[in-house]
Structure 1
Amino acid sequence: MASSFRDVTPYLLILLAIATLGPLQFGYHLAELNAPEDVLTCQKKSVTRLGKIVSLVTSSTSKVGPSTTLADCIPMSRSSFAMISAIFTVGGLVGALTAGPFTSARGRRPSMQMTAAFYLVGSAVESVASSVPIMAFGRLLTGVGAGASTVIVPLYISEVAPPSQRGFFGSFTQISINLGILFSQTLGYFLSHDSAWRWILGAGVMTAGAQALGLLIVPESPAWTACSKGDVDSARRVLHRIRGRHVNIDEEVEAWGEADGKLPGEEESLLASEGGASTDPTLVSPRPISAKADRAHLGFTQVVRDPLYRPAIIAVVGIMFAQQLCGINSIVMYSVSLLRDLLPISSALLTIIISVINLGTTMAASPLPDKLGRKTCLLASIIGQGTSSLVLALSIMFEVKILSAIAVLFFVALFAVGLGPVPFIMASELVGPEAVGATQSWALGASYVATFLVAYLFPIVNEALNSALGGAGWVYYIFAGFALLWALFVIRNVPETKGRKDADEVWGRVRRTD
């Protein structure tokens, strides 16, 4: 890590800090309703002892203080709360769909400014909401900003980071998401009482405002400026400032000339145009997967119709569903209400500990995919989460509280080993450049659909199983079963990409071993 920062300028670190405020807000809004759920839905006045003390103090002084017209809570059913939580992922899908063509046409900086605007307005609407529809609308807006950020920010980072260190700096996106989750869970521990939960949602306004102000000093991506606007001189000046005057940037500038107006690995939307694809009938014959010279960039439906690319799409969609259906967001989004009265410590406090472990493990495990292999990390993560789910279910049913806490911590830590980072890495390693945009679109689409399913169905299914079968924890048997199925899927359908120079070699080795 020290060597990665050795030749990095302070200016680049400032740009990365500002850019990653987008993914940070993604994590923040993903988890913001976790701690205050019971207070927000009028089930409790506070979820922590600290909150109860603060609530008593504020209630005793409220008679002499200013009055407010905002309600302390919003009455709603379990299904209504699930809808409010899940609609964030619907907005995320919309944002991911539209961000690709927008950032390609208008640039990275205006695109990030648009995400800041969505975050700002959405957070403001959430913080003053007095009904379910208004709260849902605010969550939808912040979701759009979050979905767009997952497309735009990784692109910007890859284009301003030194070429030899793009993998390292690319991990900043996932780290910033985890920081956002930790930030929201920490605020939730202190502010989940009375109407103070509105400050948790209002904090998003301040973060979005800081992002918008910071983006005023962020330059446009030099690669986009050179390739899309053709202004190579301006691009060189910006890149020199980012890299430092002593750094030779000739190789990067030459790469701009070879790009022919197309930035390598650039994301396309789920509705990517197919009009430019070649219709040459000779292309139905066998050909290398990465034959960029022979094929134009492929659209969203073309890659799934083509038998050459279909295995890669199946693998990408499968591991994205595995990422969510093994149950990580049941902890990120619902752990406080799920684990209350089941653990030896406050579930809100445990959630903060979980977030710290998630962040620390993500940082510590970031070299593992390059050392152990992508497939190995995926399998270790899936099997580990499945085992943790089984232990958690049993410990909850038999009320072994300390074991429940340990199982939750291992559940989250093992997610960071493989299921967290690897699916996003492999989406661009299983196909050639001509199909990487459409494949990334399938990956993002699958991710948001799977996240929606867990966010919406988990609280409903959990409550139904607990009522029908008695007790609690039954839902984690389902996650353990999913883990077994996804482990078999990875073994059968996902090739190893570590050490393979291109997609041809990845799938070529698979065919020879079959």
Structure 2
Amino acid sequence: MAPTGLRQCMHDVTPYLITLMLVVTLGPLQFGYHLAALNAPQDVLTCRKKTITAATKMLSKFPGRAAPEIPDCIPMTEAAFATVSSIFTLGGLVGALAAGPFCSSRGRLPAMRLTAIVYLIGSGIETIATSVPIMAVGRTLTGVGAGASTVIVPLYISEIAPPAERGFFGFFTQISVNVGILLTQTLGYFLSYGSAWRWILGTGVIIAAAQGTGLLVVPESPAWLACQKGEVLRGRRILQRIRGKDVSLDSEVAAWDGEDGASAVAPAEEQGLLGSEDALEVPTTPRSISGSKSSVRSVGFWQVLGDPLYRPAIIAVVGIMFAQQLCGVNSIIMYSVSLLEDLLPMSSALLTIIISGINLVTTIACSPLPDRLGRKTCILLSIAGQGTSSLALALSIRFGVKILSAVSVLFFVAFFAVGLGPVPFMMASELVGQEAVGATQSWALGANYAATFLVAQFFPIINVALNHRFGGAGWVYFLFAAFAAGFGLFVSAFVPETKGKKDADEVWGRTRRID
């Protein structure tokens, strides 16, 4: 009997695949890290407080200044801090839009290496920033790295993951984001005093250096080599190493067949070579199995929008990316410490760590759900849960029920992990063919960062305006509940299920088009 479920997953996983996953997911880990990096130290960084918790009051007795010429804090108004926070998402938008075309034409590996360099430079600038403009430059650069990573890494993972577990491995992007958030929130809890908050940002330099070093041993995507460069044999050799030498690849690489009829299925004598140790070395002269170079023509960023074959996919991915952000999760991730300070029965900084931990645990626990329940079902469950939690949070804040407020925040983040967090990243690569996946990912992540910018920049402003207009606090979460209801209707109408579908043509129920 063939292994099923977890046994099948463990059967398909090799140590080499695990190594690749650990290295490449350092990219989205830094997205989560930098996204939440300013949350805990906000009041210390902006010179409003010397410390935020009892723990940091004790630690503040120890010297924290790195150099005399670097100030302990950077005076900022609310508007200036909102700009510094949100400019990260504008950098992410630039990185997301540029990453799709770049990784389609140059490859996934050069793109990931470039993001590591950008992360390194941006983190270094943030760490030594002495003014708002310098901090904004650093945040913009780390945002560019984040935007590029969240386009490239899900693509790469989908192309190296075992086909039957792509939904499971698709969760690794969001898991790594949550690890980054938990790490930075924890450091923020202990280092938000004096100038010690700079060590929070300086840790980003260390992570970026680790990513860049690790990428030296990561190979190019086998599917990209075969489909975009026509180097089918080289792609097959890399994939054989990832899957293990005794695994048959014929069914998996059948989709690599080129437009000129070149076959990705190796003849028997070449399959024997693929199983040998020497075959794991990448040949210096690229060629396809048939001896001729075969490739799939890439579809550009604007082409996918103008082509009716791809337009429904663009509408679907843009919609679910806006749903991911406008249901309100980043109001908690980016602003919870200052926003919830007087509304909860415990330290908001400590609750933020608990929230991040629950988000991580829930994401890991829910990782099998897309392959069992379906991608669309997980998104709808997530939207319904977040909408209900938003409504409960709004009412609990209005009526001063602090325990219910805390519980609502925890459920709010937990339901995000069920579907809206990880699933949109994997669906973008399942709704179109290989020729359009780079451009579609750019549209998806461009929409994601545009929506994130709207929340980061305008959430504090709208929150204050609504509270002033209606009196009291919590009104903004009624707005998020309304957004959840609207996006639930959108997903039901315009987003197809991709679970169990072998390609985009089957997802959309159409006959494959031959150009």
Structures share a fold, TM > 0.5? yes
Q: Which residue matches 2:447?
A: 446
Contact kept? 1:227, 1:260, Cα under 8 Å: no
Equivalent residue for 1:159? 159
**In the TM superposition, what are the counterparts of 1:98-137 in structure 2 within 5 Å?**
98-137=98-137
Q: Is the CA contact 1:82–1:460 (under 8 Å) kept in the aligned structure 2?
A: no
1:194 Cα shift? 1.2
> Conserved in 2, the CA contact under 8 Å of 1:382 and 1:486?
yes
Partner of 2:91: 91
Change (3 A) 1:224 1:436: closer
- Summarize the Cα distance change of 1:493–1:222 in structure 2 as closer, same or farther, 3 Å threshold: closer
CA deviation profile, 1:63-119 (whole Å, cap 9, x unmatched):
xx9862211111111111111111111111111122223223333222211111011
Task: Give the whole-Å Cα distance in 2 for the aligned partners of 1:493 and 1:102.
Answer: 29
- What letter matches 1:136 in structure 2? A
- For residues 149 and 52 of structure 1, the distance between their equivalents in structure 2, rounded to whole angstroms, comes to 36
Q: 1:275 matched to which residue of 2? A: none
> Which amino acid in structure 2 is aligned with residue 349 of structure 1?
L
Contact 1:227-1:261 within 8 A present in 2 as well: no
Cα contact 2:101–2:439 (8 A) shared by 1: no
Whole-angstrom distance in 1 between the partners of 2:118 and 2:227: 28
Q: Does 1:320 align with 2:324?
A: no
Q: Runs of 5+ in structure 2 lacking a partner?
A: 1-5, 265-295, 511-515
What is residue 185 of structure 1 aligned with on the other side?
185
1:113 and 1:212 in contact (8 A); partners too: yes
- Inter-partner Cα distance in structure 2 for 1:438 and 1:100: 5
Q: Contact 1:361 / 1:413 at 8 angstroms: preserved in 2?
A: yes
Residues 260/384 of structure 1: CA separation in 2 closer, same or farther (3 Å cut): farther
Alpha-carbon distance change, 411 to 364 in structure 1, aligned in 2, over 3 angstroms:
same
Other structure's SS at 1:419 match: coil
Alignment partners' CA distance in 2, 1:82 and 1:418: 28
Partner of 1:58: 62
CA RMSD of aligned residues (A): 2.8
Displacement of 1:147 in angstroms is 1.0
Q: Is the 8 A contact 1:78 1:460 kept in 2?
A: no
1:358 aligned residue: 359
CA distance in 1, matches of 2:502, 2:254: 21
1:11–1:66: structure 2 CA closer, same or farther, 3 Å change rule? Answer: closer
Percent identical among aligned pairs is: 70
Aligned to 1:494: 495
Query: Structure 1's 69 and 468: CA in aligned 2 closer, same or farther, altered over 3 A?
Result: farther
Secondary structure of the corresponding residue to residue 58 of structure 1: coil
Answer yes or no: is 1:22 the counterpart of 2:23: no
Shift of 1:391: 1.3
Q: Is the contact between residue 432 and residue 502 of structure 1 (CA under 8 Å) also seen in structure 2?
A: yes
Moved more, 412-421 or 252-261: 252-261
**Amino acid paired to 2:248:** N
User: Which amino acid counterpart does residue 444 of structure 1 have in structure 2?
Assistant: L
Q: Aligned ranges for residues 51-450 of structure 1 at < 5 Å?
A: 51-55=56-60, 57-58=61-62, 68-228=68-228, 231=231, 234-251=234-251, 255-258=255-258, 298-307=299-308, 309-431=310-432, 435-450=436-451
Give, in whole Å, the separation in 2 of the partners of 1:442 and 1:198: 34
TM-aligned CA distance change 1:312 to 1:240, over 3 Å: closer
AA matched with 2:152: I
**For 1:332 and 1:469, how far apart are their aligned partners in 2?**
25
Residues 420 and 71 of structure 1, relative CA distance in 2, 3 Å threshold: same
Check 1:406–1:430 CA distance in 2 against 1; reply closer, same or farther (3 A cut).
Answer: same
Q: Following the alignment from structure 2 to structure 1, what is the Cα–Cα distance between the partners of residues 40 and 311?
A: 41
Q: Determine if the alignment matches structure 1 residue 10 to structure 2 residue 15.
A: yes
- 5 Å-filtered alignment, 1:478-489, equals 478-489=479-490
Amino acid at match of 1:58: F
Deviation of the 1:502 alpha carbon = 5.2
Provide the residue aligned with 2:463 in structure 1. 462
Which amino acid in structure 2 is aligned with residue 22 of structure 1? Answer: G
Compute the displacement of 1:236 (Å).
Answer: 4.7
Distance 1:208 1:300, change over 3 A: closer
Residue of structure 2 in register with 1:46 after alignment? 51
Kindly indicate whether the alpha-carbon contact (under 8 Å) linking 1:227 and 1:259 is maintained by their aligned counterparts in 2: no
- Structure 1 residues 252, 82: CA separation in 2 closer, same or farther (over 3 Å shift)? same
What TM-score comes out, normalization by structure 2 length?
0.84
CA distance in 2, matches of 1:325, 1:169: 25
Q: Which deviates more from structure 2 when the two are superposed, residues 235-244 or residues 349-358?
A: 235-244
Q: Deviations over 1:276-298 (max 9, x none)?
A: xxxxxxxxxxxxxxxxxxx9754
- Is the 1:182–1:352 Cα contact (8 Å) retained in structure 2? yes
Take 2:166 and 2:469, find their aligned partners in 1: how far apart are those partners? 50
Give the deviation of 1:252 after TM superposition: 5.0
Give deviations 1:400-437, integer Å, cap 9, x for gaps: 11111000000001111121223234334445556544
Residue in 1 aligned with 2:37?
Answer: 32
Q: How far is the alpha carbon of 1:258 from its aligned partner?
A: 3.5
Supply the distance in 2 between the matched residues of 1:66 and 1:427 (Cα, whole angstroms).
44
Structure 1 window deviating more from structure 2 (299-308 vs 484-493): it is 299-308
- Tell me, in whole angstroms, the C-alpha distance in 2 between the residues paired with 1:500 and 1:226: 21
Partners of 1:66 and 1:438 in 2: CA distance = 43
Structure 2 counterpart SS, 1:72:
coil
CA distance in 2, matches of 1:434, 1:396: 49
1:246-281 Cα deviation digits (max 9, x unpaired): 33345556654537799x9xxxxxxxxxxxxxxxxx
Which residue identity does 1:383 align to in structure 2?
A: A
What TM-score comes out, normalization by structure 1 length?
0.84
* Matches of 2:86 and 2:261, distance apart in 1: 38
Structure 1 segments unaligned to the other structure (5+ residues): 265-294, 510-514
Q: CA deviation at 1:19?
A: 1.1
Q: Is the Cα contact below 8 Å between 2:173 and 2:422 reproduced in 1?
A: no
Return 495-504 or 369-378, whichever deviates more. Answer: 495-504
Distance apart, 1:359 and its partner CA: 1.0
Between the two proteins, the alignment pairs up a number of residues equal to 473
Deviates more, 1:464-473 or 1:185-194: 464-473
